């Protein structure tokens, strides 16, 4: 049986629930999977894994620190593994960003292609997924920055709970995970 390791970092939970859904699909496809929140658990060894998936939420145009540290710490080991990267971010939010293909592609390149190049990785897959806008759980500076965009988010997405908008396309995520499982 193939084995996969999913390591993620999250600020508001989007990367965590995305990692959990990817793991669910992997397991349905017969891939034994371990999911690690890099903030709560440190990976010591990757020897037994056929695939390593690293994911992050994006805030202020940056990956979260923990998966970034993981990539840096295991740079040599990852070079000889099948690796996939994913991010959850507003730049990937399709309905909100209609007509902004150049901006969306620029964000995808920055968060995935450039991150892979930074660590000399040759990923077998790159996942660029929407994020979760939680207007209830923002620091003061985040509220200032996010409020200007709120009308577009509200117009494009339904609230999943008061003040929270999930912009991810779960069918896209599941399809990506299924295709990735087939590569193991």
Q: Domain with 116 in it: what CATH number?
A: 3.40.50.360
Those residues with Cβ within 8 angstroms of residue 28's Cβ, 6 or more apart along the chain or in another chain: none
Ranges of the chain whose pLDDT falls below 70: 93-100
CB 71 within 8 A of CB 84: no
- 156 and 172 fall within a common domain: no
Beta bridge partners of 9: 56
Residue 40 — φ and ψ, nearest 5°?
Answer: -100, -20
Overall domain count for the chain: 2
- The parent domain of residue 35 ranges over 3-131+168-182
- 178 and 162 fall within a common domain: no
- 31 and 103 fall within a common domain: yes
- 156 and 113 fall within a common domain: no
What are the pLDDT digits (tens) for 68-118?
Answer: 999 999 999 999 999 999 999 987 765 555 666 788 889 999 999 999 999
Cα–Cα nearest to 132, from 9, 13, 7: 13
- 51 and 142 fall within a common domain: no
- 174 and 100 fall within a common domain: yes
- 23 and 82 fall within a common domain: yes
- 105 and 176 fall within a common domain: yes
Q: How far is CA 147 from CA 28, 118, 141, in A?
A: 40, 33, 10
């Amino acid at each position: 049986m193939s084995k996969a390791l999913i390591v993620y970092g999250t600020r508001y939970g989007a990367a965590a629930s995305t990692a959990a859904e990817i793991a669910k699909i992997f397991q349905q496809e017969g891939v034994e999977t371990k999911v690690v929140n890099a903030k709560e658990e440190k990976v010591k060894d990757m020897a037994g894994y056929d695939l390593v998936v690293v994911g992050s939420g994006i805030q202020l145009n940056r990956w979260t620190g923990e998966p970034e540290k993981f990539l840096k710490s295991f740079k040599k080991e990852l070079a000889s593994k099948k690796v996939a990267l994913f991010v959850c971010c507003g730049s990937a939010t399709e309905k909100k960003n209609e007509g902004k293909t150049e901006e969306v592609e620029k964000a995808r390149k920055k968060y995935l292609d450039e991150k892979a190049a930074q660590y000399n990785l040759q990923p077998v897959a790159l996942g660029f997924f929407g994020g979760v806008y939680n207007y209830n759980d923002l620091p003061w500076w985040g509220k200032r920055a996010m409020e200007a965009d709120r009308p577009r988010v509200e117009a494009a997405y339904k609230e999943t709970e008061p003040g929270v908008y999930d912009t991810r396309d779960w069918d896209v995520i599941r399809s990506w995970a299924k295709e990735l499982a087939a590569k193991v």
